[in-house]
Amino acid sequence: MKVADLFKHRGLTNSKQHSEFMHWVTPHVREYWGEIVNKAHNRHLFTRLRDFQTPAVNDEIKPAPVQPQQPVKPKPLEMKPEAEALYLELQEKLGEVIHTGEWLDVSQERINQFGQVTEDMQWIHTDPERAEAESPFKTTIAHGFLTLALLPKLTDSVDPDNNLFPTAKMVVNIGLNQVRFPYPVKADNRVRAVSTLSKVTPIRKGLEIEREIKVEIDGVRRPGAVVTSVIQLHF
C-alpha cells in the first residue's frame, strides 16, 4: 500500500493506520521515525504524519526487530621472530631472578654531586659532621632519588658489553609502578640490584617487561629500595 493511499483512508482508526504504516516502512525508517516527524517542515504533512505516529489508547506498539551486530574481531598481534623467541624464553623465567648486578660504591662525593645537580643539599646528605652529631644514622645518607638514578647502572641497562636483552634494537624506560625505600643507603655503602621477572606482554613494537628490582645494601638485611620497573623492548 502506498503512503498516499493511507492518507485517503482517514475513516480508519489511528491505531490501525499507525500499525499498517509502520508495517509498510523499512526498519531503517522505523528507527528514525520520531526524528523524521519532529523535523518535518511541511505543516500539512506534519499533521498527517503525526496521526500515524500517535497510537490509540491501549494500542500495543511492537518494537522493530533489532538486527544483531556481528562482533568486530581484534586484529591478531604479529610479533617479529626475535621478539617471539625472547617472549617464549622469558615466559619460562617468570618469578625468577634474571639479573644480579655488581656492587657499586655510594661515596660521599657521589652524594654531594647528586645534591648539587638536584639542588638538594640538606645536611642529612651533605654534612658528615652534623649528621654524626644529630642524625639517628650517625652518618650522611644518600638521597632516595639517587638510588633510583643509579638503577640503569645497577641493572647493566647502559652497559653495551653486558646487555640483558641483546636481540632488542632499543630499550625504553616506561616508568616505575611502585617505589619504596625500606632502609637508607649510608655514605660509603655498597649497593647492587637484583631483578626478578614479573610479567612479559607482547606489544605492537615488541615486548613490555615488568621487573621487581631490589637494591641490596652490602651487610644490611633490609634493601635500600624496592621498585617495580616497566620497560619496553623494540625490535
* Cell numbers for 100: 644480579
User: What residues are paired with 207 via a beta bridge?
Assistant: 202, 233
Strand-pair category, 225-234 with 206-217: antiparallel
* Cell numbers for 197: 621477572
Q: What is the pLDDT of residue 3?
A: 47
* Cell numbers for 185: 643507603
Whether domain 81-106+141-234 has CATH 3.20.20.10: the reply is no
Give the residue among 194, 190, 205 at the shortest CA–CA distance from 164: 194
Does the pLDDT of residue 60 top 90, yes or no? Answer: no
Q: What is the pLDDT of residue 49?
A: 47
State the pLDDT confidence band at 7, using cuts at 50, 70 and 90. very low
* Mean pLDDT over each residue of the chain, to the nearest integer: 84
Burial 88-97 (b: 16+ CB within 10 A, else e): eebeeeeeee
Phi, psi of 55 (to 5 degrees): -80, 160
Does the pLDDT of residue 20 top 70, yes or no? Answer: no
* Cell numbers for 86: 625472547
Domain boundaries along the sequence of the chain: 3-53, 81-106+141-234
pTM of this prediction exceeds 0.85: no
Judge whether 229 and 202 are in contact, CB under 8 Å.
no
Comparing 62-71, 111-120, 135-144, the range with the smallest average pLDDT is: 62-71
Look up residue 233 and give its amino acid. Answer: L
Look up residue 111 and give its amino acid. Answer: I
Q: What is the pLDDT of residue 19?
A: 60
The residue to which cell 500539512 is assigned: 44
State the pLDDT confidence band at 45, using cuts at 50, 70 and 90. very low
Give the residue among 97, 84, 81, 233 at the shortest CA–CA distance from 170: 233
For every residue of 20-61, which 3-state class applies, written as one string? Answer: HHHHHCCHHHHHCHHHHHHCCCCHHHHHHHHHHHCCCCCCCC
